[in-house]
Structure 1
């Protein structure tokens, strides 16, 4: 019994020492150095330069106000002694200067200035002096992505809460130490013994001692045991409290780890898909950053699809304006709503050679479009357009430039992620040229179908079968006018169906189409009642280590000008091509075989090569120091046979460029033989600029069954500027 009592006293003294140590000033100091989470954020906020609450504030440096970042200029000069087309001309010299300047305004707005100058002595091609200044939406999106990425990277130290991590580690260590103390000093057996000594009378008495001594000893032991149990209670309470703190810190620490992972995914993710304010907002919410907002002015700029001043192409819809070049202002915006404004002078679509300069009449177009929805998804858009257009080539025609007013409603329905259907209805108000003299203008009457039009388009891609289908149906009344078509005095109904199919793991691609009345132009003699259907079929086979083979049967169109009248002729063509790049021991070689067959006759075309079959074979040898080419072509129709032998060599000149020289031997009808030659050079200038020169002295078959001399020359220089 004496040993039991002594051991109990020693144990109680040890526990008291441990308890006193647990409340020592050292541990109290550690506790005082551990700050709450709010204080940690305050410290982190004071250590970064980015606004913690609004990190996207002042994303761009707005100075200087005007900065030229770079650009390019290209000069191209072409000379032809004889033009080998139905537009017969001689000694044609054409100068083209195109260029681009990349400018930033106010440090925020990227502007691209494009210019094009063309001068020619041709009677068909007019001189052009065009300048366009456009807001570069793609460059702005890249600039915004870069700026936001830099800000998010600057916030990286605050996203990783290092103080929270240290606090969690310290609390874990304290919890582990306190748990070891509970296990070592307050094991269950000692607690049972302490409770028995406190509750069972005379358990600590010694029979050899007087009762007065035992009572005194028992009283002392019970006080020590009571203190021991109180220490256990206090220690257990601290352990439970500390365990709760550790659990709370663990949850916050794991949430911080998840945030770090999300943050890393955001920074390293694909930012090219973030092209709208809604996409940015959804992406930030996806990574738990819903509190971060892009400034309103930048959100608005993300919706600007196009803003240009000067010459720009206009492609809005099938029944309003399409394939039209307008010199004016063009603005297009799309977020959750759509708005487009456009006004300017019309440039005769893109076929500016079919009308002489003397017959041109001023044309202009103004349009307003408004709707809701995204152009890439579902939308509904109303359009109104007004302008003047020239329907006739001759200046003697009555009302050569007529007023046109029209309205349309267009909708797009996304069937699924890869398929959609568009529908459009339109109505116009124009003079009626079916009467003589023409009426000044028809009235806007819904019951009149002569000045209305409808169009439907279906597009679908089927990933499972690797198929693509496109179909269009358009019907216009006899007196409907827009800036998408230039029809006169005839109702038109046209449609087409296109289909692409990939087979055998994309080794074989088949493309087919059917068209009816697809071609239209105001200067062409057309039979709008024709039911001719144009068929085309193309197949391409690609297999590894095998030649690439393409076979196609397609309809073609050709324009011929006779006096002031331009006519369109249509015919069919069969094309087949084989190309193979392969090694023969250490030598790389390439073989090209082509076959072209035209199906027409002399009454269909003003071109000499009517109803002709043309075959071509070329062989290329890639040596280390030079490249050699050899080729032969054979063309035959009912009136002539033309054979051409072609051979050239192109030395490889490091740090200079390339130079090539060749010879062509022409044999017409096995009677006339003439030889020509050509030379070309591509020269690098100042490492990033390029000068290209070519000249050919050749021959073409003439209408009198002879070879006609033809000289061709080209000079091109490309200069690139980079001021970054």
Structure 2
């Protein structure tokens, strides 16, 4: 038995431990005591391996000569197949927000209002190959000014699909990634040797070497001249001054010898480098063919190319890439510029549909030809308020067909139709007699062309013709399509041209546009009708001092878009704006702007009044480090140039100054600000400070105080703010905010406004 145990010890493996192995079969082995009276026991396991099982023996220090062992049956690991990606991979966030406000800071009287908002934004990958974006939002509250909304959007763009292909191209698989890194390092060695060869090839042409050679030649010539003069002196004096006559000559000869030696050394080094470079280049070519490095460069070049989507797909197809890089249907998906269901944005052209929010579907498909389609409900003349009135149903149907690349040269024909309510918010009733509903349908055709004139200039031109308004058609009894096809009537026509250019030598960017719309022209980009409209806009961006200073100037006419304008409104005001931004390293960012604004007011008798005013804004912001502490400082100045009769703003023709400073410490964020609001009636001074303390990685609390002093009325107001943010693992982030502030009230005095917000956010 002793020999058996000794054999076990000799053949076994030692695994640290000392605890019994639960769930294993136990057996006892009797072992005699050692000659010195100590038991052959230890605090380690002893294993004896076999083909499919092993013998585990755990010696334990016990009183008797017995060792307790455990028998474990080890199964052979099964063969696992390739891991399949899940059908859906979802990442994104979910946010719930509850907002409370005791007094609304609006021209409308509203008290004790609250609003619930639930929003989620998701990035979805189907089979880890097809990326999409999903967004959902719903909002409800007790405010009479805001109606409850629920929107959904599913969006796919070829931009996201290209980004996914780029990521796969960068890391094809682990082996190829290592191979490409090897190729990159080998290419770096080749580039270094090429630079060294270039340096040696032009060594003798370097200005310093040429100067040195000239100096050596001069010393040789000077030495020979001194030698001839010295020999003449020696003959006259009867003695020869050997060292003096040979000093210059020997020095020049030694310099020339060293120069020739260095030349021969560089020549030999150049020959060896050229031989080594040829060997490295052959090795790089062989490895590049083996690793498929050309495919990677071709793949990245195809995805970054400026050709059409069809040309891109043809290049990818000729590369014979595996399915792990190019999924099925990639040719069609690369041609899908955008596809959306739900609440989508339709932005096609200046004269058809521009920046229109549609609840429906839209798609853009652009391989070598162009096709676009959009349909859905349009919320025209209805913002979030006035929810108690019945809304007239409005819709848009649009089809675009053309040829060329949407981002380069193209010609596109557009047909649009739908219903747009511009004339009344809803069908009214007078003396209990309903007014007959009018035919508000519109229809039109547009032809648009885009031309790229080189790399830095592009021109877009468009002409369109629409149906006549319902009141103009009623005079002649024409149909909607019939009014479109009347070529002799030019009142329902529109023209547009736009140019964008960059001057590389000066970095100047120029944007210019011009539009002319007839009195009876109708589209989903134009709100007004009934008067001939002309609009133009010119903007120039000019950098100075190596992009440190940027000047922006703009001038425009009739470019304001307002859904509450009267139908025959036509503005002749020319607005000017100017902005300058200075960015210098280690200096604050300075920005100054002079911007126009306007306010459209509908008077009680149906007339329209337009008021203009300008705003001067100047800011200086700096993010810096002081004594290893990060800080941020912002100084802002704002001034309105208007009159009390020009606007309903309470602070007309006012000046506002703000100074804000923030200090970022390890666990604290300290913020303080000073404000000064000056108008013709009084001055309002304010000071506030707040602190946020990160107690733990999952807990942040903060609070602050604010003080306001209003002159003329000599009233002081004290407010406060508080916040708390808690991060719960696997649950999300919970944030709570409360604030007591002040808003303008009646008689130009401040009234208290209590706000609160509860927010829950989960990111996954």
Decide: shared fold, TM above 0.5.
yes
Please name the residue that 1:91 is paired with: 112
Please name the residue that 1:715 is paired with: 758
Alpha carbons of structure 1 residues 113 and 583: separation in structure 2 relative to 1, 3 Å: closer
2:439 and 2:470 in contact (8 A); partners too: no
2:364 corresponds, among 332, 337, 358, to 332
After superposition, residues 524-603 of structure 1 pair within 5 angstroms as 524-525=565-566, 528-558=569-599, 569-603=611-645
Instruction: For residues 3-50 of structure 1, give each alpha carbon's deviation from its aligned partner in whole angstroms, at most 9, with x where no partner exists.
Output: xxxxxxxxxxxxxxxxxxxxxxxxxxxxxxxxxxxxxxxxxxxxxxxx
1:487 and 1:520 in contact (8 A); partners too: no
Please name the residue that 2:145 is paired with: 124
* 1:491 to partner: Cα distance: 1.6
* 1:335 to partner: Cα distance: 1.6
* 1:154 to partner: Cα distance: 7.5
TM-score by length of structure 2 reads 0.67
1:432 and 1:438 in contact (8 A); partners too: no
Matched, 1:505 2:536: no
Distance 2:362 2:623 in 1: 46
1:382 and 1:407 in contact (8 A); partners too: yes
* 1:456 to partner: Cα distance: 0.7
Alpha carbons of structure 1 residues 296 and 708: separation in structure 2 relative to 1, 3 Å: closer
Alpha carbons of structure 1 residues 408 and 267: separation in structure 2 relative to 1, 3 Å: closer
* 1:596 to partner: Cα distance: 0.5
1:359 and 1:393 in contact (8 A); partners too: no
Please name the residue that 2:156 is paired with: 135
Greater mean alpha carbon deviation, residues 295-304 or residues 112-121: 295-304
Alpha carbons of structure 1 residues 573 and 380: separation in structure 2 relative to 1, 3 Å: same
* 1:373 to partner: Cα distance: 0.6
Please name the residue that 2:706 is paired with: 664
Please name the residue that 2:312 is paired with: 279
SS in 2 for 1:124: coil
SS in 1 for 2:443: strand
2:509 corresponds, among 458, 465, 468, to 468
After superposition, residues 226-625 of structure 1 pair within 5 angstroms as 256=286, 259=289, 262-263=293-294, 266=297, 269=300, 273=304, 276-279=309-312, 281-282=314-315, 289=319, 297-348=329-380, 352-353=383-384, 355-396=386-427, 402-433=440-471, 441=480, 442-525=483-566, 528-558=569-599, 569-625=611-667
1:80 corresponds, among 90, 101, 118, to 101
Unaligned runs of at least 5 residues, structure 1: 1-59, 160-249
Instruction: For residues 482-514 of structure 1, give each alpha carbon's deviation from its aligned partner in whole angstroms, at most 9, with x where no partner exists.
Output: 111211212211111111111111111111111
* 1:85 to partner: Cα distance: 2.6
1:423 and 1:455 in contact (8 A); partners too: yes
Matched, 1:653 2:653: no
RMSD value, Cα = 3.7
* 1:133 to partner: Cα distance: 2.2
2:660 and 2:672 in contact (8 A); partners too: yes
Distance 1:400 1:594 in 2: 52
1:392 and 1:400 in contact (8 A); partners too: no
Instruction: For residues 395-446 of structure 1, give each alpha carbon's deviation from its aligned partner in whole angstroms, at most 9, with x where no partner exists.
Output: 2467577101011000000012132110000111132446998976535222
Distance 2:155 2:84 in 1: 20
Please name the residue that 2:78 is paired with: none
Count of matched residue pairs: 569
TM-score by length of structure 1 reads 0.71
* 1:269 to partner: Cα distance: 4.9
Distance 1:573 1:358 in 2: 35
Distance 1:510 1:348 in 2: 37
Instruction: For residues 26-76 of structure 1, give each alpha carbon's deviation from its aligned partner in whole angstroms, at most 9, with x where no partner exists.
Output: xxxxxxxxxxxxxxxxxxxxxxxxxxxxxxxxxx99976x42423321112
Distance 2:391 2:285 in 1: 71
Distance 2:83 2:305 in 1: 22
Instruction: For residues 219-247 of structure 1, give each alpha carbon's deviation from its aligned partner in whole angstroms, at most 9, with x where no partner exists.
Output: xxxxxxxxxxxxxxxxxxxxxxxxxxxxx
Distance 1:430 1:601 in 2: 40
Runs of 4+, deviation exceeding 6 Å: 60-63, 148-159, 250-255, 290-296, 434-440, 559-568
Alpha carbons of structure 1 residues 137 and 704: separation in structure 2 relative to 1, 3 Å: same
Distance 2:474 2:752 in 1: 50
After superposition, residues 152-191 of structure 1 pair within 5 angstroms as none
Alpha carbons of structure 1 residues 469 and 690: separation in structure 2 relative to 1, 3 Å: farther
1:491 and 1:528 in contact (8 A); partners too: no
Distance 1:306 1:282 in 2: 22
2:310 and 2:368 in contact (8 A); partners too: no
2:443 and 2:484 in contact (8 A); partners too: no
Alpha carbons of structure 1 residues 624 and 567: separation in structure 2 relative to 1, 3 Å: farther
* 1:264 to partner: Cα distance: 7.0
Please name the residue that 1:34 is paired with: none
1:684 corresponds, among 727, 734, 751, to 727
Distance 1:572 1:696 in 2: 32
Distance 2:178 2:137 in 1: 50
Alpha carbons of structure 1 residues 156 and 115: separation in structure 2 relative to 1, 3 Å: closer
Distance 2:438 2:610 in 1: 21
- Higher relative CO (CA 8 A, sep ≥ 6), structure 1 or 2? 1
2:444 and 2:484 in contact (8 A); partners too: no
Distance 2:636 2:457 in 1: 36
